[in-house]
Amino acid sequence: MTTNRTCGEALAALIEAHGVDTVFGIPGVHTLELYKGIAATGLRHVLPRHEQGAGFMADGYARASGRPGVCFLITGPGVTNAATAIGQAYSDSVPILVLSSVNATRDLGMGRGRLHEITSQEAVTRPLTAFNATAFGADEVPGLVARAFATFRAQRPRPVHIALPLDVMRMPASFEARAAAIAAPPVPDNEAIAAAAARLAKATRPVIVAGGGTIDCASELAAFVEALAAPVLLTNAAKGVIPRDHPLCAGGTLTTAPAQAMIAAADVVVAVGTELSETDSWVERLPIAGSLIRIDIDPASLQRDYPAEVAILGDAGHALAALTVALAGATRSAPPHEAVAAARAAPGIEPSPLRRKHIAVLDALRAALPDDGIVVSDMTQIAYTGGAYFPCARPRSWFHPSGFGTLGYALPAAIGAKLGAPERPVVCVAGDGGFLFTVEEIGVAVELGLPMPILLWNNDGLGQIRDDMIAKGIPEIGVSPRNPDYLALARAFGARATRPDSLAAFGQAITEALAADGPTLIEMRQDAPFLP
């Protein structure tokens, strides 16, 4: 069917039909047809100040809402500017749909010096996406969009990049704005469920490790934990899926000695929705000595690094529910509540002088932030402490750039999170070094009137790298840049700004910022005299 809309215009209506309500992007001469389409829909457009910000905002939006974040990017530099954010989303299994322009089909790969030209734009994003594709005709667009949403729902939810050549974007639309039927996630194999249940029925010291793949099946995970009467350890991506005060929750990190000792003593370990990656545990290898049961929607993760004795391919919620049913009636020993409580109460992180400062601030933040609050953190030392220490009561409450480890993530991702879950309080936690990577996005928070506290942890440099250099006897090179006046900088963008003179004042500043009509920069200096 041919309509009076161009392909670019119709694409905006097509993604709206698939449930998209927000698009992040910076318009350019190559994307005007896409923007003409936005004007004819109910889509909300958010203008970042840099395409990297667009990608991080889409990431935060997706993590908070559970729906794909969407970017509109121009050919060439728009795509390369956003590549770091796309890589972060790929690493952390975040669904982002990147829709970009690309040079006309007759120019692809020719190196003619066209505006924004890359000889192979697909090659830029290929290693950063679940799939990327170029539509060589208007009739290809609905199938590619449907494939993207199928990837988000039924596979490991990683970014997808679809490019429209300029001539294709101007073609008459040959499709209607109608959502495709998307298959449900794969259902686990009954034989694999039975094999896992048989091992678990005989286990005397089972332990569960739950990762980000469980964020949408908290009730199924809780039922399985209680049916197995086993302690559960959570990766950073799963913080809050089981509340920290649950009697079988042994902690929110794999990095601590008590957590790793519990894994070492287990006769069966169930790893569900987790890669068991280096950035989950920060050890060369977790001490898994017992049988390993892995549950994952990604077949590659079922045997990588830690080969499973029983591998269950499928949606985590379905698998956990099936295992819970299979375990019904099995005789279990008394739940190890006391041992779990002791492990949870043990000092999971070394109480160094620096971490004591972090803990004091994190305690004040936790006291001021409602239980449903979201913390979006950057690569900064206070966030490293918080990953092991900060308690969360709900899923989708702690967002950290774990795998790729990008600086500059927190501020734009926090903006996206607030737009994706406007009913939830959102706090940004950034260090002074990373904050400068994307500081310009504070203008977006001001423009949108977002009541968002921005906790800036200022140690006058790249503190972690500086400390590592000192520890290794390396001269301090490139780790102590001259900082701006952050309070003045925030105010120049139109934000509120304060530097508390006590922990009580800090807590009050968080409370006031959550009720303000725009963002508030709250600078906490590492050398503040009132910190322990």
CA distance 385 to 361: 11
Three-class secondary structure of residue 183 per DSSP:
coil
Sheet bearing 374-377, strands edge to edge: 398-399, 374-377, 426-431, 453-458, 520-525, 496-498
pLDDT digits (tens, 9 = 90+) for 475-494: 999 999 999 999 999 999 99
Residue with tokens 């990327």: 132
The amino acid that residue 379 corresponds to is M
Give 100-150 as a DSSP string.
EEE--GGGTT-----TT--TTHHHHHGGGSSEEEE-SSGGGHHHHHHHHHH
What pLDDT does residue 349 have?
66
What pLDDT does residue 471 have?
94
Residue 350, pLDDT > 90, answer no
- The H or E element containing residue 444 is helix 442-448
What pLDDT does residue 353 have?
93
pLDDT band of residue 1 (cuts 50, 70, 90) is very low
Do the beta carbons of residue 199 and residue 268 sit within 8 Å?
yes
Residue count (the chain) = 532
CA distance 35 to 101: 12
Cα of 322 vs its chain's centroid, Å: 28
pLDDT digits (tens, 9 = 90+) for 400-447: 999 899 999 999 999 999 999 999 999 999 999 999 999 999 999 999
Give Cα separations from 289 to 241, 245, 255, 311 (angstroms).
26, 28, 17, 17
What pLDDT does residue 346 have?
63
Residue 146, pLDDT > 70, answer yes
Using CA atoms of 219, 220, 225, 228 in order, give the dihedral in degrees to the nearest 10: 140
pLDDT digits (tens, 9 = 90+) for 59-100: 999 999 999 999 999 999 999 999 999 999 999 999 999 999
Least Cα distance to 296 among 310, 284, 281, 283 occurs for 310
For residues 206-215, give the mean pLDDT: 96
Do the beta carbons of residue 94 and residue 159 sit within 8 Å?
yes
What pLDDT does residue 347 have?
57
Three-class secondary structure of residue 333 per DSSP:
coil
Q: Which domains does the chain have, with CATH numbers?
A: 7-169 (3.40.50.970), 190-345 (3.40.50.1220), 353-525 (3.40.50.970)
Least Cα distance to 458 among 364, 370, 361, 321 occurs for 361
CA distance 452 to 502: 20
Residue 294, pLDDT > 50, answer yes
End-to-end C-alpha distance for the chain, whole angstroms: 69
